[in-house]
Amino acid sequence: QRKNPFSNDDRLASKPVYTHRGGATYGRPPEGSRTEQRGKDAHSHVGKEVEELCLIIRSTGEVGEDGHVSVTFGQLFETYVTISNKVVGILLRARKHGLVHFEGEMLWQGKDDDVIITLL
Using a cut of 0.95, tell me whether the model's pTM lies above it: no
| pLDDT above 80: residue 18 | no
Choice among 15-19, 21-25, 30-34, 104-108 with the minimum mean pLDDT: 15-19
pLDDT recorded at residue 29: 84
Contacts of 21 (CB under 8 A, 6+ apart): none
Write the pLDDT tens digit of every residue in 76-89.
988 887 777 788 89
pLDDT recorded at residue 118: 94
Using only C-alpha atoms, the chain has a radius of gyration, in whole angstroms, of 21
CATH superfamily of 50-119: Costar domain (1.10.10.1540)
Write the pLDDT tens digit of every residue in 22-73.
877 788 888 888 889 999 999 999 999 999 999 999 999 899 888 899 999 9
Provide the residue ranges of all domains of the chain, joining segments of one domain with +: 50-119
- For residue 99, count CB atoms less than 10 angstroms from its CB and return exposed for 0-12, middle for 13-18, buried for 19 or more: middle
Rounded Cα distance between 7 and 91, Å, is 40
Where b means 16+ CB within 10 Å and e means fewer, 70-97 reads: bbbbebbbebbeeeeeebeebbbbbeee
For residues 28 and 2, the model is more confident at 28
SS3 content of the chain, % helix, strand, coil (to 5): 40, 10, 50
Q: Report the 10 Å Cβ neighbour count for 49.
A: 19
